[in-house]
Every structure is written in structure tokens, then in C-alpha cells.
A and B are shown apart, each in its own frame.
Chain A
Amino acid sequence: MKRREFVVKTALGAAAVAFPAALSGRDKVEGAPDMTALKGGTAAEMFERGIAEMGGMKRFVKSGQRVVLKPNIGWDRGPEFGANTDPELVGRIVKHCFEAGAKEVLCFDHTCGNDWDHRYKVSGIEDAVISNGGKMIAGNTESMFEECDIPHGVVLKRAQVHKLAMNPDVFINIPVLKHHSGAKVTCALKNYMGCIWDRRWWHAHDMPQCIADYATFQKTSLTIVDAYRVMLDHGPRGKSPEFAPIVKYQIISTDIVAADAASIHIFSETAKQYGMGRPYTIDDIKYMRPAEKLGVGTCDLSKLSVKRIVLS
């Protein structure tokens, strides 16, 4: 057992060190997959391995660029509830961004209700970001949002978008996979709702279509789905940690719709295994097909090169 552990660790370490070094400065990486799915280990460990497989952070972050991270920090819940993105994962991403030469790493979310500073703290994300040199930016003041046209929107033609989300050098979407009382499952596409100001308008005007419409506008370099814990019921806020079993998954993808599709599969599978929540299909999640139709990405995972890795 010890020997095996040693081998794996060495391999991991070598991969983590060698890949980014070998691939620096190259945009399109030969042989690097569109999506990496991981299982096993902590969220940060999975990310270390996954980003190496994807071609390292340098594939996405060039030196001197400003990176914007959009984790889910919607609720005043600790990490154990699975309501917000895993803080350790966010911290590790910040670290990798700086290692890739980022000038600045900014992190924000338009939290659900006032009290944003408390939520940043309770989720543990503020600590993780700041200790790695990043900055937490408030997402709850209207002055930070600017009216934008959504040219490809079907229902949503205009939206007030957070300044950080508008034309960032690098935008990394870090949703957490969880149950949602309205959308049923919330993940990467729905995480974009933290980039806009007037969510009420979306709620009142065919929300699934609005989610899909906004995805045509938002530029995203990378989507990292945190499915270390999957909240299966009482989402999106969460009732108690027992509804968020630790299942140790992670999806790193350049295609946001595919990331959601894979996540929904994970959600359904987990729901079946734990007997909590419901095994939804992609068609149950009403924003998926419209998003695919608008050309945001694909729900068909067979169209992508997917690397599946199990960490022991």
C-alpha cells in the first residue's frame, strides 16, 4: 500500500510540476482534453491533478492578466453544507492563477440578500482567497453593475452586469453542484446569476430562458465544477450537512454546458445512491436545451474529448 501511494504521489507531483512548465506560453494544447472529470481526494487535490491534465493554468492565464473568479458564495452557510463552493478549492485556484503569472486575482459574487461580507466570511472563501493573495470584491452594490446589451438573447435583451464580469482577461466560473428548489439542479450556467443585478426580472420573465440567454453573453475561460459535496435536497441554501454527502467529484471544462450536463449525471447518480433528492435528467433542467440551442455549448458529452481520472 505504501509503495503504491508513493508511486501515485510521485506521479502526481511530477505531473503538477512538469505539465505547466512544459506547456507555458502555448494557447492550444496538443492532446489536452476539453473536459477532465475527476473522482477521489479533496477538492483541492482533484483540482491539482485536473488542471495539470487540462494543460496547466498557463493554458488559460497569461502573465500580467487580470483573473476574475466567480465561485458560488450565495448563502450564509459553512462549507459543510455544500451550499457554497469549497473554500480550499477556490484558494488553490487563486494560487495557480498567480503561479501562471496573473497580475491580479479578483473574486466576487452577488450574494442572495444583503450581508455579503458575512457570507464571504462564513463560507471560508474570503480567507482562502486573501491568504493566497487574491482580493474579494463586493457584489452587492448597484453602482458596480453596468447595463449591457445581450445581442443573442431570446427573452433577455439587456442586463445589468457586474463590472468584473464584463470583458475580463480571464473569467473562471467555479460553481458548486447542488439541488435547487426552483431550477432543480444548479451548477455552472445558473451560477452566472451572481453576475447580474436584477435577478427578480429573470424570475418574472421565464427564468430558464434568461439563464440560457445570459450564457451567450458571458465570456468564460474555464468552468470548474465543485462536486466534492453534492447537496441533494433543501437547496440552494441547505438545511443541514447530512443532505450534502461527500462524493468527491470535480469537473474541469472549457465547455460550460457540457460541464453542467456531466454534473447533472453526477447529481442523478448520487441521488439514486443516497436515496435523497431526485435523479433528474438533462431534459428536466429547463435551461440546458435552450443553452445548447443558442450555441453556448453541448449537452452531448460524446462530442468532446473527456478525460476521466480516478484518484486513489
Chain B
Amino acid sequence: MGTLFKYLRRLRILVALCIFALISVQFLDIYHQLPKSYYMLNPTSTQFAPSLLKMLAGGGIIAGAAFITFCICALLFGRAYCSFVCPFGILMDILRRIALFPASSKFLKNAFVGKFCAKNFALLRYKPSRTALRAFFTIIAAVFIIFGYSALFGFIDPYSLYGKIMGSITHPAVAMIADAASKTAYAHGLYSIPPVDGDPTIPLAAFAFALFVLLAISALSAFRGRFYCNTICPVGGLLGLLSSVSLFKISLDKNKCISCGMCERNCKAECINSKAKTLDFSKCVLCFDCSLKCPRNAIKYSLNPKAAKLFGMDSKPESSAIASREKKTSNGNMTRRAFPVAAAALAALLCTAAKKYGMGKGKNRRGDAACAKVEAIDAKCGEPTPYGIPGVREDKRLTLPPGAESLDNYLEHCTGCQICTAACKAQILKPSLGEWGLAGLMQPYMDFESGFCLHSCHDCSKACPTGAIKFVGGKVKRTIKIGTAVFRKSLCVVKTDGTDCAACAEHCPVQAIEMVPFGKLENSLYIPHVHEEVCIGCGACENICPVRPHRAIVVRGLAKQTKAKEFNESMRIYKRKERAPKPMAPSTSADAFPF
């Protein structure tokens, strides 16, 4: 049995490091060099909660493959997901290793750090399962998903928390370091390190929150190992429930075990009680570390005796002690029953509160309904999103990334894992701090202040693992209408200053802005005119418009994305005399030049 554990442990470490590296590389891809094949086998598709959400978002059984696989896996072998695939769990293991390093290092062992680490981090002890808390978090997670509050779910879901750390700390930090290195090199005439495209900065509060998560999880994993996984994590809660009835279980051989406590000290899930010679398999994350230290080879991975009985294969149930949660909780039957109800009620309360107080910073702003032009645009292009940005024109509305399809789909499925903010080449997807309301905290929004959605880029739709942004091909993406540009003549420099500009028309990738004559013809001034049905809402015009404080052209995001029309000559407002093209006469003499 010992060798089996040894190999399983090695396999676990190998798989975990591969998955961790493959997912992390996407957050570290600051130059956007990942090949197409990477996204075809996107490693984030192995993630439990995102795959469930993607399945719910209409991705079908294949999208939910990871969810289904790991549920079945838990029923057969236990919580393999938690140690093999979960990047947050793997991050915790790595952090724990770092925390334990001073205790074993030659140089630090006798220093204060080494002693401190050895005293506080090295020895873990069995802790009975906090069933109430686990159930509570699992139930509220279920309620969040069912009622479509994925952003709130994202604050307890392990993959999304990991993503928040990577997307809000690591990605901006790496990008800024690379940028600074490039600046220094450029200043010295070395041009080998290219600067990073776009503005990698994120709101300070988002960074602070991610830092808090990182510090908290570092402390927890140093002091208590996988405390989060067995207390807060809803995935751990669900898989723990399934694995408590799993076919195969790890257990202690009561005949062999001498209660030396070696396994208990090394169990980061704190699930082995060496005195009672029991192992709580609902907490076990299948790390296989325990048998490494067992002097008697007393830890075994065998058929669940209950299951064995079921199949008629009796194998002395008294010889192996399986963690029995019934024993521990039998005295609290009443609380057990009242508990789910209480948790569900609390979750519902949270949802209601988030909805009530989280309308978004610019929601229900008055003033734009009065504008007849905006009403006409809404009638033609569809309902705008109800979210604005304070300090910006009130007819400006937030847009959804192309592929999000509708406001409901986006807000209901995005857990705020920040992978799209890392993938965004223009660096315009930023974590929201109330832009989408309280219920949409950390869900990315498109910030046209720092750039615009690049016409040929569809990287966010390739990266999104939850189905909040559905995959769209490059060609389709170029026609998706995510918003409508709204032009206000009274603000435009052509009217206010009487000078040429046309920055918006110049940057429009789809010819949705036509320059039409303005004022006296001899002034030859031209002012923008927006063809609303052609506009895709990419924000290029808004980004480049030089007028301040309020821009003359802003994008009114659509609540339901549609397909934009292609510009054709018949749409022109300012028509010219059409002339049939004449084939050019091949000229060979010097009068070929018109000057």
C-alpha cells in the first residue's frame, strides 16, 4: 500500500503543477502570445464551478464535463479535484511549502523565523469537521448560483478567488515590471524588451481586496493547512458530501496503527484522528501525504465497507474505521434540520440586499429620458443597459463584452475570476467596484477611458470559462453590436470652435460615423453623423473624442447584443454625384503627372 501512495502522491504533484502552470500562464501572458491551440484545449475548462456555470449558461454537457467528471470521481475515489486540479488548493499547498521552508532550511532552522515556523506551522492537529459552516457555505453558494448572483458566488468559489489574486495582483504586477524594464532598456537605447500594450493598472480597491485574499489564504494555509477547503469552499463542501459515500476510501488499519500521530501532523486537511484511529474522508483532499510518514504502513486505500456490504463483499467492517459524521452530529438533529433553512434564508436576504442596494453607480439616473434623440435610438437599436458611470454623460451606458449576449447572461454567470481582464489586449476590461452594482462586484466592465475594444480581437470570449462571455469567432465578433454611439452636436468642437476634428470618424472601424457638411459650404467644415444600425459600440470614438469634461460622443451599451449592419453607400446622408469608374489609361509619357 505504501508504494501505491508514493506513486499516487507523485502523480498528484505532477498533475497539480501542470494544471497550475497551464492556468497561471494565461494570467501571465502579458504580451498575448499564447497560441490558438492553447485556447482550443483551454485548461480552465477543467475547473469545477466554472464548468457548472457554463453548462447552466447553455454550454451543454461537454461544457459541464469537469463538473460531472469530478462529481463521479468524488463518488468513486474521493475529492481528487481538490489536490489535483483546483488552482486555489494548489496555491495553498505551494504557500504552505514556502511557510515550512524556514523550519527545514539549514540556515534558517536555528534563527527566529525557523523556530517560529517549526512551532506554529509544522504540526497540524485533527479538528472535527465544522459541518454547520460547511453546509452553510455550500447552501448559500447553491442559492447564489440558482438565483444568478455569480459575482457573490465568486467570493467563495476557489477558482474565482485564485483568479482574483492572479488577475488583480500578479497580472498587473508582472505587466508593470515588464513595462518598467522596457522603459529602462529603451532609455539606454536597447530595444529588446517591448513595452506592454495598454494600461495594466486596476482600481486600487480591487487590488486591495485581492491582496487581502492572498494574505488571508497564506496565513490560513501556514497555520491550518487546507482550512478554507474544509470550512468555506462550496466545492469542497459538495465534493465532501459525495466523497463521504464514495466507493473507495482512505482509512487507518486499526490493527497496524500505533497512534504515533505522524500522519495526523502531516495531514493538511486536518482529517486524521490518530488517537481514535479514524479518518474523516469528507475532509480528505487526497494529497497522499499521510502514508509517507507512517512507520507501520497502516494507511490504506480500500473499498468502502458499506459499499462492500452492498455488493455482498464483506470485509470485516470493524477493522477499518471510517469517519462517521452521524456520530458527531447525532446529538444535534434539530439544528441540522433547521440549518439549511436558515442558510437559505440568509442567502436570499443577501441576494435581495445586493439587488436593492446594488443598482450600479449610474442606475436610474434621470435626465436622459427627456432627450428625444436617445429615445429614438433606443427604439431603433434596443434597450440600453441600466448602468452608467458617475461623472460621465447620463446617456452613456456600460457595455457588455462581445459574446456576453445579454445583461442577464453576463451578470448571472460571471464569477469575477478576472481571466478576461488578463486576456484583454486593449486592457479595457477592468474589475468593477460598483459599476455593475453591489451584486456585480468584481465583474469586469469595459472602460473606454483607457482604450477601446479592438475590432479584430476576441480574446475575452476565448478565455471566459463560465459562459458569461460565450465564444465568438473573429468574423462574427466584428459584427456584434454591443452598443450605440450617441453624438451630441452641442459639445462637438466642430460646432463649438468651428475647427476640423473628425477623430471619431477616423477611428471608427465600421464606417458608422459619416462626416457631413456643417454650416456654410465655403467653410468646408464637416461634423459627425452616426449611422446607429452600423455602429458596433466598440468605444473607439468615445476613447478618442477630445472634448472634456463631457465627450461629444459616448457609447450607450445594449442590454441585449445584436448584429450590426454593414455600411453601404446607399446609407450615405451626404450623397455625391456618382460617376462610373473609368479604367485608367496606361500612360507612358511625362504628362502622366498631374503637376
Contact = CB atoms under 8 A, between A and B. Distances in A.
Interface string B281-321: 00000000000000000000000000000000000000000
A181 B499 contact: no
Nearest to B179: A141
A114 B198 CA distance: 6
A234 B543 CA distance: 20
Given A114-B198, A237-B506, A310-B590, A203 B425 contact: no
Given A76-B455, A181-B502, A207-B500, A275 B595 contact: no
Nearest to A39: B592
Interface of A: 37, 39, 76, 106, 112-118, 135-138, 140-141, 143-144, 163, 180-183, 199-208, 234, 236-237, 239, 245, 247, 261-262, 265-266, 268-269, 273-276, 278, 284, 286, 301, 306, 308, 310, 312
Contacts of B584: 245, 247, 273-274
A137 B506 contact: no
Interface string B502-526: 1101111101010100000000101
A182 B514 CA distance: 10
B544 to A, nearest CB: 7
A143 B576 CA distance: 45
Given A135-B191, A143-B186, A117 B197 contact: yes
Nearest to B515: A181
Given A274-B582, A274-B584, A310 B592 contact: yes
Contact of B507 (A112, A135, A140): A112
B578 interface: yes
Minimum-distance CB pairs A-B, first 8: A182-B502, A275-B579, A204-B546, A269-B594, A200-B546, A181-B505, A265-B595, A141-B195
Interface string B173-196: 000000100110010000100110
Nearest to A207: B500
B427 interface: yes
15 contacts: A76-B455, A113-B507, A136-B191, A137-B191, A143-B183, A181-B502, A182-B502, A183-B502, A203-B544, A206-B497, A206-B499, A234-B511, A237-B506, A273-B584, A275-B579
Nearest to A269: B594
Q: Dominant SS at the B interface?
A: loop
A61 B67 CA distance: 65
Contact of A113 (B186, B426, B579): B426
B506 A117 contact: no
A76 B191 CA distance: 22
B427 A312 contact: no
Nearest to B192: A135
A106 B302 CA distance: 68
A114, A268, A286: most-surrounded residue (chain B CB, <10 A): A114
Interface string B451-463: 1101111000000
B593 interface: yes
A164 to B, nearest CB: 10
Given A237-B508, A265-B593, A275-B578, 14 more contacts: A113-B543, A115-B425, A138-B182, A141-B186, A181-B502, A181-B513, A182-B503, A199-B503, A203-B503, A207-B500, A207-B501, A236-B506, A274-B584, A310-B587
A76 B515 CA distance: 22
Interface string B139-180: 000000000000000000000000000000000000000010
B366 to A, nearest CB: 29
A283 B452 CA distance: 34
A278 B574 CA distance: 13
B511 to A, nearest CB: 6
Contacts of A308: 590, 592-593
B581 interface: yes
A203 B493 contact: yes
B580 A275 contact: yes
A181 B529 CA distance: 12
B183 A182 contact: no
Contacts of B451: 113-114
Q: Dominant SS at the A interface?
A: mixed
B588 interface: yes
A114 B32 CA distance: 13
A182 B513 CA distance: 11
A72 to B, nearest CB: 13
B25 interface: no
A76 B589 CA distance: 37
B323 to A, nearest CB: 55
B593 A37 contact: yes
Contact of A182 (B452, B457, B500, B594): B500
A261 B191 CA distance: 36
B574 to A, nearest CB: 11
Contacts of B31: 117
B339 interface: no
Contact of B501 (A182, A274, A306): A182
B456 A116 contact: no
A236, A237, A245, A266: most-surrounded residue (chain B CB, <10 A): A237
A201 B594 CA distance: 35
A141 B197 CA distance: 8
A114 B426 contact: yes
A141 B186 CA distance: 11
A138 B195 contact: yes
Contacts of A239: 511, 567
Nearest to A284: B524
A265 B588 CA distance: 18
B454 A115 contact: yes
Given A182-B506, A284-B524, A39 B587 contact: yes
Nearest to B452: A113
Given A76-B455, A262-B595, A275 B582 contact: yes
Given A208-B500, A236-B506, A203 B546 contact: yes
B547 interface: yes
A204 B501 contact: yes
B272 interface: no
B500 A114 contact: no
A268 B593 CA distance: 11
A46 B52 CA distance: 62
Contacts of B592: 39, 308, 310
Interface string B50-75: 00000000000000000000000000
Contacts of A247: 584
Contacts of A208: 499-500
Contacts of B582: 273-275
Nearest to A198: B546
B536 interface: no
A238 to B, nearest CB: 10
B414 interface: no
B195 A140 contact: yes
A22 B254 CA distance: 99
A116 B580 contact: no
A141 B195 CA distance: 7
Nearest to A278: B576
A120 to B, nearest CB: 10
A261 B595 contact: yes
A265 B593 CA distance: 8
A37 B333 CA distance: 95
B531 to A, nearest CB: 13
Contacts of A274: 581-582, 584
Given A239-B511, A247-B584, A275-B582, A115 B594 contact: no
A261 B544 CA distance: 28
A204 B547 contact: yes
B540 interface: yes
B328 to A, nearest CB: 57
Contact of B594 (A118, A183, A202, A266): A266
A245 B500 CA distance: 27
A206 B507 CA distance: 18
A310 B499 contact: no
A117 B456 CA distance: 13
A268 B198 contact: no
A237 B504 CA distance: 12
B194 A268 contact: no
A275 B581 contact: yes
